[in-house]
């Protein structure tokens, strides 16, 4: 926020009036201390707005004041919406500005996410996006930056889920007497849903039915969904695929890992779901030789005489 006295921008929130921090395993937003007591309404929560209306042709237009919610109330509501997203704590720093692209595909992914965020039509239908690539190339980073903008700047309701954790949550729900629909329902109805690690899992009947129901509900309702995956978006498997660099998929036994490197997202989710994804999303795939930003930071920290760079990077 800009101080009325000095004209300086708050050094904590940099004028945004809110701060995003890591709180446990989640990213958490709060109203900045510079804006806790709103200078517009002085903490009352409402302001007066002058309106003009013609009640009779003889009297003509009349001006009058009405009570309206102050902008600080909208800010508080958006902060609360952000804390319902469920973004991982490691993405609390994520923004479009600090995303570092190492190749043209990453640059295209960032531009796609930025354009989607800044041109989102709250009254219309918005095509989501699917980001594919090796681990450590910023897919989760870009989804987090997108959700931050949609929620905190536009006031949309959104949710983030990692698909394997969703399966685990539903299984725990069964033990507590809940149905899968009770957990999927809110995810089906939210304005924007981000699904991370698409294609991950055992591929069991339970997982495939859960994913199919969630995608079908959102597809039929025309709701916007964002995805990130480690699996290739190529339509067909190549005759001789070159081996992906270590780390493209989650660590596992060599034999199983080699098999996963051959898999396409289409094979992981099935033809029905993949066909719908093609209509729901714009695809961007990062090359398999795209560097793992986290690994580069760690290797730089290990060089003799190098100052620690910390954990800041492009995210997952």
- Clarify whether residues 52 and 162 are in a common domain: no
pLDDT at 4 over 50: no
Mean pLDDT of 159-177: 95
The first and second tokens of residue 37, run together, are 């007591």
268 lies in some domain: yes
- Clarify whether residues 223 and 179 are in a common domain: yes
- Clarify whether residues 239 and 116 are in a common domain: yes
Q: What is the pLDDT of residue 161?
A: 98
Query: pLDDT-derived band of residue 310, with 50, 70 and 90 as boundaries?
Result: low
Q: Name the average pLDDT for the chain.
A: 86
pLDDT at 246 over 60: no
256 lies in some domain: yes
Q: Write down the residue that tokens 């009325």 correspond to.
A: 4
- Clarify whether residues 243 and 278 are in a common domain: yes
Q: What is the pLDDT of residue 125?
A: 92
Q: What is the pLDDT of residues 255-280, one digit of tens each?
A: 554 455 568 999 999 999 999 999 99
Assign residue 195 the CATH number of its domain: 3.40.50.300
Q: What is the pLDDT of residues 111-159, one digit of tens each?
A: 999 999 999 999 999 999 999 999 999 999 999 999 999 999 999 999 9
Query: pLDDT-derived band of residue 232, with 50, 70 and 90 as boundaries?
Result: very high
Got the DSSP string for the chain? Answer: -B-TTT-PBPTTTTTSSEEEEEETTEEEEEE-GGGSS-TTTTTSSEEEEEEEEES-TTT-EEEEEEEEE-HHHHHHHHHHHHTTT--BGGGTT--STT----SHHHHHHHHHHHHHHHT--TTS---EEEEE--TTSSHHHHHHHHHHIIIIIT---EEEEEHHHHHHHHHHHHHTT--HHHHHHHHHHSSEEEEESTT-S---HHHHHHHHHHHHHHHHHT-EEEEEESSB--SS--SSPPPPPTTSS----HHHHHHHHT-BHHHHH-HHHHHHHHHHEEEEE--TT---HHHHHHHHHHSTTPPP-TT-SS--
Q: What is the pLDDT of residue 259?
A: 52
The first and second tokens of residue 49, run together, are 């707005």
276: containing domain:
84-302
Per-residue CA distances from 74 to 77, 121, 144, 155 (Å) = 5, 19, 21, 8
136 lies in some domain: yes
pLDDT at 308 over 70: no
- Clarify whether residues 126 and 259 are in a common domain: yes
- Clarify whether residues 39 and 185 are in a common domain: no
Query: pLDDT-derived band of residue 305, with 50, 70 and 90 as boundaries?
Result: low
65 lies in some domain: yes
pLDDT at 203 over 60: yes
pLDDT at 62 over 90: no
- Clarify whether residues 194 and 93 are in a common domain: yes
Q: Determine whether 133 is exposed, middle or buried from the number of CB atoms within 10 Å of its CB (0-12, 13-18, 19+).
A: buried
7 lies in some domain: no
Query: pLDDT-derived band of residue 6, with 50, 70 and 90 as boundaries?
Result: very low
Give whichever of 40-54, 58-72, 178-192 has the largest mean pLDDT.
178-192
Q: What is the pLDDT of residues 180-193, one digit of tens each?
A: 889 999 999 999 99
Which has the higher per-residue pLDDT, 308 or 219? 219
Q: Please state the domain count of the chain.
A: 2
Q: Which of 2-6, 39-43, 267-271 has the lowest mean pLDDT?
A: 2-6
- Clarify whether residues 170 and 296 are in a common domain: yes
- Clarify whether residues 51 and 146 are in a common domain: no
- List residues bridging with 30 in a β-sheet: 19
**Of 97, 133, 130, nearest to 116 (Cα)?**
130
Dihedral (CA of 191, 281, 263, 210) sign: positive
pLDDT at 11 over 90: no
6 lies in some domain: no
Instruction: Tell me phi and psi for residue 297, to 5 degrees.
Output: -65, -45
- Clarify whether residues 140 and 276 are in a common domain: yes
Q: What is the pLDDT of residue 315?
A: 52
Query: pLDDT-derived band of residue 316, with 50, 70 and 90 as boundaries?
Result: low
Q: What is the pLDDT of residue 164?
A: 96
């Amino acid at each position: 926020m800009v101080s009325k006295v000095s004209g300086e921008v708050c050094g904590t929130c940099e004028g945004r009036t809110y701060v995003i921090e890591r709180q446990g395993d989640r990213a958490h937003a709060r109203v900045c201390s510079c804006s806790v007591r709103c200078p517009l309404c002085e903490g009352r929560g409402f302001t007066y707005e002058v309106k003009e209306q013609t009640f009779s042709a003889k009297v003509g237009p009349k001006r009058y004041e009405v009570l309206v919610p102050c902008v600080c109330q909208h800010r508080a509501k958006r902060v609360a919406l952000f804390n319902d997203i469920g973004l991982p704590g490691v993405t609390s720093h994520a923004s479009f500005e600090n995303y570092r692209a190492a190749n043209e595909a990453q640059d295209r992914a960032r531009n796609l996410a930025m354009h989607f965020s800044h041109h989102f039509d709250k009254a219309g239908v918005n095509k989501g996006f699917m980001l594919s690539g090796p681990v450590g190339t910023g897919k989760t980073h870009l989804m987090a930056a997108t959700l931050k903008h949609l929620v905190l700047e536009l006031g949309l309701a959104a949710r983030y889920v990692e698909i394997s954790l969703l399966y685990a949550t539903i299984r725990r729900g069964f033990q507590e007497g809940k149905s899968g629909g009770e957990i999927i329902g809110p995810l089906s109805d939210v304005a924007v849903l981000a699904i991370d690690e698409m294609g991950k899992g055992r591929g069991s009947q339970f997982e495939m039915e859960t994913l199919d129901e969630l995608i079908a509900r959102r597809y039929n309702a025309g709701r916007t969904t964002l995805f990130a995956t480690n699996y290739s978006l190529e339509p067909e498997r190549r005759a001789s695929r070159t081996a992906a660099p270590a780390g493209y998929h989650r660590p596992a036994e060599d034999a199983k890992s080699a098999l996963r490197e051959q898999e396409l997202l289409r094979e992981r989710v099935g033809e029905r779901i993949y066909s719908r994804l093609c209509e729901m999303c714009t695809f961007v795939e990062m090359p398999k030789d795209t560097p793992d930003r986290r690994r580069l930071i760690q290797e730089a920290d290990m060089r003799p005489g190098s100052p620690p760079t910390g954990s800041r990077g492009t995210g997952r």
